[in-house]
């Protein structure tokens, strides 16, 4: 075989193999199976039911190996106190993992603030977690594709591929991301993907004694969560960023951001 | 007790050591991007600015900038690896940094870094090669014909490798070199602007951040980049020339291979004249770019105040209260207004241009600081503030990297690189060529 002929047939062979392999890539059976249009996970928070016990935060940290003593958390509960003077006070000490047992409001460097009971016009708790956005900013900005959306709508981080640049943390308008203190990669709520994909519930929803947190399939009209979202007045956090969050809130008001 | 404390220290999450929170801040919010990310656009800006300065001569034929242009080109190359250094120091997984190059995720602004950076590096490297090709070949001949010491041998080997076997010194070949230099410098300007404008885009496109999100960001970054690059070249050029002037009567030749010294017939007054001429002329270009940079920055603030959207409430507090000294005194006052006046006063001397340039460099650094740290000075909820306390004395690798130590490391790196690079490509070599 002459050199020219060898080169020719080698080129034909390589391109032929490349084309057929890329066809296999296009029809990845796993991907086809995972693209289940009947499933889109969503979350519903009923702020009227939350009492700020912090059980969800604790359960989440234990379930997902986020050290309890580390000052970061995948989910947290915020307290809102509004006064007659029109002041809006908010706090979330340690993400509320120990529950709200004191009336003092933690204002960080400005110290603890006390509001007299008679001055309070309303007070409530708002649990927060990743919104698993339809158009997640964090997925868009990850430079290496370590953050991705699953076909059933959950935003996950690949700990083996994350370079730890922090761009996703900066890009998230909800502050749900942080650096894991042990893994040193970006970390966030996975909606307990390891549990829900086996038919279980999220750790936080399971731990909530009042049913303030619920997981559901938004594509199933008979799903209790989907039903509420369809039939009641619910809101999402900061829709102005165009991320289409998929965590819905009952009893959301303007002060909650 | 000690164990508990040690465990708690170990559990210190990234950002916690230097973040001071005030009022309501979300539990996961910290100043995640600290001094290294301040330095990243700063160093990238210096690279781009130095290159634009060198191109003023190569492309636009500003003949009078010939001397400083060559220096700026070599210095820009020395700065180049340092533009990447802060990013590597900042990554939580620095060993995986290469992923940005091998698996870029193209919807991310950062993913283009590898491509833009490498393109720019290749352009600068090839431009230097064309500018110095004649010198490389001459050096090979010179070194071959002399008694070589160890260093000479090494140098000869390096020159032989980087000559790439292109030993043709015919007039036609030299002309081709000149043409290639001009073309590369021409392509280099947009690429340098892109390299830096793109650093601005990384910030400007973060929609979650009220301070960063503006389409003006890339343009502001480019202008301040050119300003800082010119100022740094001006200072370094002046200082290196002072050193050479100091050394000349003492029979030494700084920044030039000893063998070349004899060929250049230098004397003290020539050097002084050259220095004065180049620095004052460069200062003129510095003024022009300063006006552009300040105009854009002020436009940004005025526009935000005038439109006063929801986030303006917290931004106003950050800009006019929390960061007032940093923005209006340090950045605009000492870093912009003062040097501008110094440069405008008649009878500009090298010394005054240098003082002004130092202030300009400080001003641009403060601008980067106020953008990067200032953008994280308030909570996403607009209800609280965060302050970055620069770690001075490091107690672990993290507080070193993201503190004063890391900052000094990055600042000193380009000079170390320049020292060695200058041995191969003497930045002050004044060939009698008409071009280059």
Q: Are B257 and B430 in contact (CB under 8 A)?
A: no
Looking at the structure, do residues A72 and A11 belong to the same domain, yes or no? Answer: no
The C-alpha atoms of residue A44 and residue A47 are separated, in whole angstroms, by 10
Mean per-residue pLDDT of chain A: 92
B137: left (phi over 0), alpha (psi -120 to 50) or beta: alpha
- Please tell me the least confidently modeled range out of A97-101, A197-201, B164-168: B164-168
Looking at the structure, do residues A12 and A60 belong to the same domain, yes or no? Answer: no
Higher-scoring residue by pLDDT: B139, A248: A248
Question: What pLDDT does residue B212 have?
Answer: 95
A61: how many CB neighbours lie within 10 A of its CB? 22
> Is residue A203, in this structure, part of any structural domain at all?
yes
Residue pointed to by tokens 């370094």: B236
pLDDT value at B62 more than 80: no
ipTM of the complex: 0.88
Mean pLDDT (whole number) for A214-226: 95
> Is residue A103, in this structure, part of any structural domain at all?
no
Flag whether residue B287 sits within 8 Å of chain A, measured between CB atoms: no
Q: Which of A115-119, B8-12, B231-235 holds the top average pLDDT?
A: A115-119
Tokens of B15: 């950002």
Residue pointed to by tokens 């001459």: B138
Looking at the structure, do residues A30 and A45 belong to the same domain, yes or no? Answer: no
pLDDT value at A147 more than 70: yes
With cut-offs at 50, 70 and 90, classify the pLDDT of residue B249. Answer: confident
Inter-chain CB proximity B100 and A161 less than 8 Å: no
Flag whether residue A69 sits within 8 Å of chain B, measured between CB atoms: yes
Looking at the structure, do residues A18 and A58 belong to the same domain, yes or no? Answer: no
Distances (CA, A) of B126 to B71, B193, B250, B422, B434: 16, 18, 36, 16, 20
The C-alpha atoms of residue A96 and residue A91 are separated, in whole angstroms, by 9
Q: Would you give the distance in Å from CA B370 to the centre of its chain?
A: 17
> Is residue A82, in this structure, part of any structural domain at all?
no
The C-alpha atoms of residue A133 and residue A156 are separated, in whole angstroms, by 11
Say which of A69, A178, A242 has its CB closest to residue B28: A178
Q: Would you give the distance in Å from CA B387 to the centre of its chain?
A: 26
Question: What pLDDT does residue B49 have?
Answer: 87
> Is residue A12, in this structure, part of any structural domain at all?
yes
> Is residue A98, in this structure, part of any structural domain at all?
no
Looking at the structure, do residues A50 and A8 belong to the same domain, yes or no? Answer: no
Inter-chain CB proximity B11 and A67 less than 8 Å: yes
> Is residue A87, in this structure, part of any structural domain at all?
no
pLDDT value at B3 more than 60: no
The C-alpha atoms of residue A129 and residue A204 are separated, in whole angstroms, by 10
Question: What pLDDT does residue B1 have?
Answer: 47
B404: how many CB neighbours lie within 10 A of its CB? 15
Domain ranges (residues) in chain B: 13-423
Flag whether residue A181 sits within 8 Å of chain B, measured between CB atoms: yes
Question: What pLDDT does residue B328 have?
Answer: 95
With cut-offs at 50, 70 and 90, classify the pLDDT of residue B411. Answer: very high
Question: The domain containing residue A182 runs over which residues?
Answer: 39-76+126-257
pLDDT value at B8 more than 70: no
**Most B-contacting residue of A139, A165, A174 (CB-CB within 10 A), to test interface:** A165
Flag whether residue B13 sits within 8 Å of chain A, measured between CB atoms: yes
Question: What percent of chain B is predicted at pLDDT more than 90?
Answer: 59
Number of structural domains, chain A?
2
Closest-approach residue (CA) in chain A for B23:
A107
Flag whether residue B163 sits within 8 Å of chain A, measured between CB atoms: no
Question: What percent of chain B is predicted at pLDDT more than 70?
Answer: 93
Instruction: For B118-154, write each residue's pLDDT tens digit.
Output: 899 999 999 999 999 999 998 899 888 888 788 888 9
Q: Are B390 and B96 in contact (CB under 8 A)?
A: no
| Architecture of domain B13-423 in this structure | Up-down Bundle (1.20)
> Is residue A114, in this structure, part of any structural domain at all?
no
């Amino acid at each position: 075989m002459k050199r020219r002929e060898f080169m020719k047939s080698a080129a034909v062979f390589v391109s032929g193999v490349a084309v057929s392999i890329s066809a296999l890539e296009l029809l990845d059976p796993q991907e086809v199976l995972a693209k289940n249009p009947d499933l889109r996970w969503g979350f519903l928070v009923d702020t009227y039911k939350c009492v700020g016990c912090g059980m969800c935060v604790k359960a989440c940290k234990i379930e997902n190996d986020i050290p309890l003593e580390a000052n970061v958390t995948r989910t947290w509960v915020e307290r809102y106190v509004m006064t007659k003077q029109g002041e809006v006070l908010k706090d979330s000490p340690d993400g509320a993992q120990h529950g709200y047992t004191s009336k003092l409001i933690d204002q960080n460097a400005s110290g603890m603030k006390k509001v007299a009971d008679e001055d309070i016009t309303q007070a409530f708790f708002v649990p927060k977690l990743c919104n698993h956005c339809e158009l997640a900013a964090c997925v868009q900005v990850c430079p290496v594709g370590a953050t991705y959306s699953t076909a059933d709508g959950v935003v996950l981080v690949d700990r083996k591929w994350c370079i730890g640049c922090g761009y996703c943390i900066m890009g998230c308008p909800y502050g749900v991301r942080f650096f894991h203190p042990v893994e040193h990669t970006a970390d966030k709520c996975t909606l307990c993907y390891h549990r829900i994909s086996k038919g279980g519930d999220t750790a936080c929803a399971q731990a909530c004694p009042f049913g303030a947190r619920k997981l559901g399939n938004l594509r199933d009209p008979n799903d209790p969560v989907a039903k509420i979202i369809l039939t009641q007045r619910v809101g999402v956090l900061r829709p102005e960023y165009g991320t289409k969050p998929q965590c819905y809130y009952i009893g959301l008001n303007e002060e909650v951001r | 007790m000690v164990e508990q404390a040690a465990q708690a220290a170990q559990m210190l999450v990234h950002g916690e050591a230097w973040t001071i929170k005030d009022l309501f801040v979300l539990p996961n919010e910290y100043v995640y991007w600290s001094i290294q990310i301040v330095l990243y656009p700063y160093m990238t800006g210096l690279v781009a600015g130095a290159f634009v300065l060198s191109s003023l001569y190569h492309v636009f034929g500003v003949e009078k900038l010939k001397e400083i242009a060559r220096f700026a080109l070599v210095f820009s190359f020395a700065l180049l690896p340092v533009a990447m250094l802060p990013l590597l120091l900042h990554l939580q997984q620095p060993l995986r940094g290469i992923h940005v190059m091998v698996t870029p995720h193209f919807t991310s602004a950062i993913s283009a870094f590898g491509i833009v950076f490498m393109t720019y590096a290749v352009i600068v490297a090839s431009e230097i090669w064309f500018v110095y090709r004649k010198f490389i070949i001459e050096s090979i001949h010179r070194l071959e014909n002399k008694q070589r010491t160890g260093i000479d041998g090494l140098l000869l080997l390096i020159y032989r490798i980087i000559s790439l076997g292109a030993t043709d010194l015919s007039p036609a070949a030299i002309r081709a070199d000149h043409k290639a230099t001009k073309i590369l410098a021409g392509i280099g300007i947009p690429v340098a602007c892109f390299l830096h404008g793109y650093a601005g885009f990384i910030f400007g496109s973060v929609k979650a951040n009220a301070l960063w999100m503006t389409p003006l960001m890339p343009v502001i970054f480019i202008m301040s980049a050119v300003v800082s690059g010119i100022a740094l070249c001006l200072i370094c050029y002046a200082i290196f020339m002072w050193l050479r002037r100091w050394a000349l009567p003492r029979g030494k030749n700084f920044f030039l291979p000893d063998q070349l010294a004899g060929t250049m017939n230098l004397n003290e007054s020539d050097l002084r004249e050259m220095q004065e001429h180049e620095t004052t002329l460069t200062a003129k270009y510095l003024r022009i770019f300063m006006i552009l940079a300040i105009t854009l920055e002020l436009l940004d603030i005025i526009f935000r105040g005038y439109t006063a959207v929801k986030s303006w409430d917290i931004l106003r507090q950050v800009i006019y209260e929390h960061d007032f000294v940093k923005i209006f005194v340090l950045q605009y006052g000492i870093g912009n207004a003062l040097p501008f006046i110094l440069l405008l006063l008649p009878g500009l001397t090298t010394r005054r241009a240098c003082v002004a340039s130092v202030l300009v460099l400080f001003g641009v650094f403060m601008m980067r600081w106020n953008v990067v740290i200032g953008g994280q000075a308030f909570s996403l909820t607009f209800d609280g503030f965060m302050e970055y306390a620069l770690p001075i004395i490091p107690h672990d690798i993290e507080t070193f990297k993201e503190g004063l130590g890391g900052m000094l490391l990055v600042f000193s790196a380009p000079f170390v690189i320049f020292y060695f690079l200058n041995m191969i490509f003497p930045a002050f070599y004044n060939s009698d060529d008409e071009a280059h």
